[in-house]
């Protein structure tokens, strides 16, 4: 299933604070068991339904999240 | 960089990046703050606003003493480090000799509302055309969680281990309310960054503040009600509830003074 | 007023003279706070600057004033403040930051009697504070000690030059009498000390350079030690700025060492002693930091003894002893708390040594 939006989480910047987790309206972000080099458990995206609302990126204190949304000009694909 | 997602074809398109985590104005390096600290949110969004307004080359920032003492490690603008509490005096000096520049201070509650009370009130009273950004997390973070002038009644800190007793040590100081009474203040607002919508409102207010500076009609003052998970002895998620339930009733968000009013 | 030879000569009060000199030296901004006996400087500048060029702000305290200086200096402006002893004490925090951040600025201390609120009468009680750094940490500031109103003018130009050449706060240490007395001064023309905005200044980050950061925070001790080493190296390199005035020292048995106001009185006592047949010379450091140790040390080879005259309990006498290094006895005559020694009592001290 092709996605319309997604987030890129910089694993080494994430501190696993979970502020993005509570900000996601889809509850699509989860704290994973993966550790980064500093030993923090990191957050990952666990949904294909991301709308690119940028809520997670706005509240991320570590500038770890960038958000991509399929440009409107492109012909949307059926989901 | 290891990626936690699968690349889509459209992602390389120019407009696909709708939120850039490191605009030109924000230096790409790990922040030294504790997990969940709102300093990071504030830094990031202030620099987003500077980027969006296209004023990077006009801006000169003044960093305080406190956790955000290294603000200039992250903010990609010319900056000067002030002594504890003196940021508004330093900003006055800069602005007076570089009147064409946009000068802002970034100060915590201990810095701005305790040791720097005089410098803050007098800078605003002179109507210095500077922007004062006030991070209020009701605690001294850097030194280990001591009581701040804005610590809430009953709040436990390392120097109020039985809770802040107002009979003994006084009331939470509302600097923003004080400042709003001064004729030198042009735009005074209190915001928070604990939810996505709060961040959006904060950015809007901050953008207005930067724009109002161009009127040269006085000081702009933006308080950000913030957290300190480490000092508050809470998880970051718990700190968001604490802001909602305890901080905001004491420090309600909204504009206290606008050029129109 | 002109004497007809194109020179700008006036009768001026010390405090107004150094303020006027600062304008002529191209000062961009002055931030100050009233305190006796130097308030005329702030009054003069708030009167003159609006008619001419520059910025003047009466701050809410000396603490704020020195931090305005710090900010403006960081932005690359030529800046000055002035105060008197209790006010200069309040400025020490800022001076330490300015020294560490390596910013140029000129400070004038019109020394009054202390400790505490003390008195408004002239004193040299701030010698240690001025020459040992004054605030926290290992730093020094060049210190110029004028003895005339003319030198107060000249040292403003010299002070700005040294401050900018070495990127350091630079101090003029005068006293309440020099601030208040009126003397003939020749004023240099405006624009004789050019100034450009330095490349390190906070002027707004442009795409062609990294952001400029002015700071005194170097949290890693390895880095902080390097900063200290650089500062110490800078202070050593200032030794070429040492200036002093020696009179009648070639055949002198006794050398009277004094600076500023007390040197004027000591010179009078020297002449009185010479009339009595006592071979007395006088030595006046114009730079108190760096101190003319070497020149004084050389005098210890010919003179039999030294007498240090100060308006304090004995502060510069320690530097003179360091310079003489035990080779000759070093006596001391001081008055304190705003009292000025008269030539007779200095002469008596000279005669006491001579016997």
Residue C2 pLDDT grade (very low, low, confident, very high; cuts 50, 70, 90): low
CB pairs under 8 A between A and B: 129
Q: CA C183 to CA C10: how far, in whole Å?
A: 8
Residue C3 pLDDT grade (very low, low, confident, very high; cuts 50, 70, 90): low
Quickly tell me which residue has 């610590």 as its tokens: B151
Kindly list the domain boundaries of chain B, sorted by start residue: 32-257
Superfamily designation of domain B32-257: Thiamin diphosphate (ThDP)-binding fold, Pyr/PP domains (3.40.50.970)
E strands within chain C? 8-13, 29-32, 55-58, 79-83, 105-111, 143-144, 169-175, 182-187, 213-214, 244-247, 254-257, 280-285, 287-289, 305-310, 330-334
**What is the pLDDT at residue A73?**
62
**What is the pLDDT at residue C183?**
98
Kindly give, in sequence order, each residue whose CB lies less than 8 Å from that of residue B171, ignoring residues fewer than 6 positions away.
Answer: B153
Residue B2 pLDDT grade (very low, low, confident, very high; cuts 50, 70, 90): very low
Domains of chain C and any CATH numbers? 8-205+215-240 (3.40.50.970), 243-354 (3.40.50.920)
The mean per-residue pLDDT over the stretch B153-163 comes to 97
Instruction: Check: CB of residue C104 under 8 Å from CB of residue C167.
Output: yes
Nearest beta carbon to residue B236 from set A17, A45, A68 = A17
Contact state of B18 with A6 under an 8 Å Cβ cutoff: no
Chain B nearest-CA residue for A2:
B8
Residue B260 pLDDT grade (very low, low, confident, very high; cuts 50, 70, 90): confident
**What is the pLDDT at residue B191?**
98
The mean per-residue pLDDT over the stretch C120-137 comes to 97
Residue B159 pLDDT grade (very low, low, confident, very high; cuts 50, 70, 90): very high
pLDDT of B155 strictly over 60: yes
Q: How confident is the model over B166-214, as pLDDT tens digits?
A: 999 999 999 999 999 999 999 999 999 999 999 999 999 999 999 999 9
**What is the pLDDT at residue A76?**
54
Instruction: Dig out the tokens for C338 from the structure.
Output: 């705003």
**What is the pLDDT at residue C354?**
83
The mean per-residue pLDDT over the stretch B40-48 comes to 98
Physical contact, A and B (3 or more Cβ pairs within 8 A): yes
pLDDT of C123 strictly over 70: yes
pLDDT of A75 strictly over 60: no
**What is the pLDDT at residue A3?**
86
The mean per-residue pLDDT over the stretch A61-78 comes to 82
Kindly list the domain boundaries of chain A, sorted by start residue: 5-69
Report the mean per-residue pLDDT for chain B. Answer: 96
Q: CA A64 to CA B166: how far, in whole Å?
A: 40
The mean per-residue pLDDT over the stretch C235-245 comes to 98
Q: How confident is the model over C214-225, as pLDDT tens digits?
A: 999 999 999 999
DSSP notation for C225-259: HHHHHHHHHHHHHGGGG--EEEES-TT-SEEEE--
Instruction: Dig out the tokens for A47 from the structure.
Output: 């949904």
**What is the pLDDT at residue B140?**
97
CB contacts of C73 in chain B (<8 Å) are 93
Q: How confident is the model over B46-72, as pLDDT tens digits?
A: 999 999 999 999 999 999 999 999 999
pLDDT of B3 strictly over 70: no
Given CATH 3.40.640.10, say whether it is the number of domain A5-69.
no
A4-63 residues touching B, CB cutoff 8 A = 5-13, 15-19, 21-23, 38, 40, 42, 44-45, 52-63
Kindly give, in sequence order, each residue whose CB lies less than 8 Å from that of residue B41, ignoring residues fewer than 6 positions away.
Answer: A58, A59, A60, A61, B193, B199
Contact state of A17 with B36 under an 8 Å Cβ cutoff: yes
**What is the pLDDT at residue B9?**
86
Interface pTM (ipTM) of the complex?
0.96
């Amino acid at each position: 299933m092709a996605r319309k939006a997604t987030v890129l989480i910089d694993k080494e910047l994430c501190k696993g604070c979970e502020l993005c987790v509570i900000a996601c309206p889809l509850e699509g972000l989860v704290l994973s068991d993966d550790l980064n080099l500093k030993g923090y458990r990191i957050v990952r995206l666990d949904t294909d339904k991301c709308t690119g609302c940028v809520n997670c990126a706005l509240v991320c204190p570590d500038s770890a999240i960038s958000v991509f949304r399929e440009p409107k000009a492109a012909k949307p694909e059926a989901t | 960089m290891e990626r936690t997602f699968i690349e889509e074809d459209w992602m390389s398109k120019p407009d696909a990046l709708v939120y850039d985590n490191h605009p030109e104005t924000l230096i790409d390096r790990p922040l030294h703050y504790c997990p969940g600290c709102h300093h990071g949110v504030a830094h990031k969004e202030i620099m987003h606003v500077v980027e969006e307004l296209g004023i990077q080359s006009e801006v000169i920032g003044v960093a305080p003493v406190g956790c955000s003492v290294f603000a200039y490690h992250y903010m990609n603008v010319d900056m000067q480090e002030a002594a504890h509490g003196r940021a508004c005096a330093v900003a006055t000096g800069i602005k007076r000799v570089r009147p064409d520049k946009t000068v802002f201070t970034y100060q915590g509650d201990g810095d701005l509302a305790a040791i720097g009370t005089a410098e803050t009130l007098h800078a605003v009273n002179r109507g210095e055309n500077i922007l004062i950004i006030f991070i209020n997390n009701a605690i001294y973070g850097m030194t280990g969680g001591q009581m701040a002038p804005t610590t809430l009644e009953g709040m436990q800190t390392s120097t109020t281990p039985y809770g802040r007793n107002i009979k003994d040590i006084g009331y939470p100081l509302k600097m923003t309310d004080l400042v709003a009474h001064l004729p030198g203040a042009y735009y005074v607002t209190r915001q928070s960054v604990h939810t996505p919508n709060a961040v959006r409102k904060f950015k809007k207010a901050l953008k207005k503040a930067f724009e109002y500076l161009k009127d040269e009609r006085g000081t702009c003052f933006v308080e950000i009600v913030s957290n300190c998970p480490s000092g508050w002895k809470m998880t970051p998620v718990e700190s968001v509830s604490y802001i909602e339930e305890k901080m905001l009733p004491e420090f309600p968000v909204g504009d206290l003074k606008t050029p129109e009013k | 007023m002109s004497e007809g030879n194109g020179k700008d000569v006036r009768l001026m009060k010390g405090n107004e003279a150094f303020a006027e000199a600062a304008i002529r030296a191209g000062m961009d901004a002055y931030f100050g706070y009233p305190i006796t006996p130097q308030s005329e400087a702030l009054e003069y500048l708030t009167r003159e600057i609006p008619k001419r060029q520059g910025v003047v702000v009466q701050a809410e305290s000396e603490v704020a004033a020195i931090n305005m200086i710090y900010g403006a200096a960081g932005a690359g402006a030529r800046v000055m403040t002035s105060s008197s002893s209790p006010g200069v004490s309040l400025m020490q925090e800022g001076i330490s930051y300015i020294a560490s951040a390596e910013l140029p600025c000129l400070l004038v201390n019109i020394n009054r009697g202390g400790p505490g609120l003390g008195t408004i009468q002239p004193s040299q009680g701030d010698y240690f504070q001025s020459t040992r750094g004054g605030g926290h940490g290992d730093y020094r500031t060049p210190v110029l000690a004028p003895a005339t109103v003319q030198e107060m003018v000249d040292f403003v130009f010299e002070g700005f030059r040294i401050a900018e050449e070495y990127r350091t706060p630079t101090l003029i240490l005068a006293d309440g009498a020099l601030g208040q007395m009126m003397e003939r001064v020749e004023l240099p023309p405006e624009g004789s000390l050019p100034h450009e905005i330095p490349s390190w200044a906070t002027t707004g980050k442009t795409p062609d350079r990294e952001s400029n950061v002015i700071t005194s925070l170097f949290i890693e001790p390895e880095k902080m030690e390097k900063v200290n080493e650089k500062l110490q190296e800078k202070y050593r390199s200032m030794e070429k700025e040492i200036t002093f005035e020696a009179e009648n020292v070639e055949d002198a048995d006794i050398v009277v060492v004094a600076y500023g106001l007390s040197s004027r009185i000591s010179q009078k006592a020297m002449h009185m002693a010479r009339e009595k047949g006592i071979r007395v010379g006088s030595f006046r450091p114009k730079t108190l930091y760096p101190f003319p140790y070497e020149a004084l040390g050389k005098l210890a080879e010919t003179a039999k003894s030294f007498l240090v005259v100060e308006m304090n309990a004995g502060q510069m006498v320690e530097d003179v002893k360091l310079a003489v290094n035990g080779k000759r006895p070093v006596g001391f005559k001081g008055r304190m708390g705003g009292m000025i020694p008269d030539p007779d009592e200095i002469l008596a001290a000279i005669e006491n040594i001579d016997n």
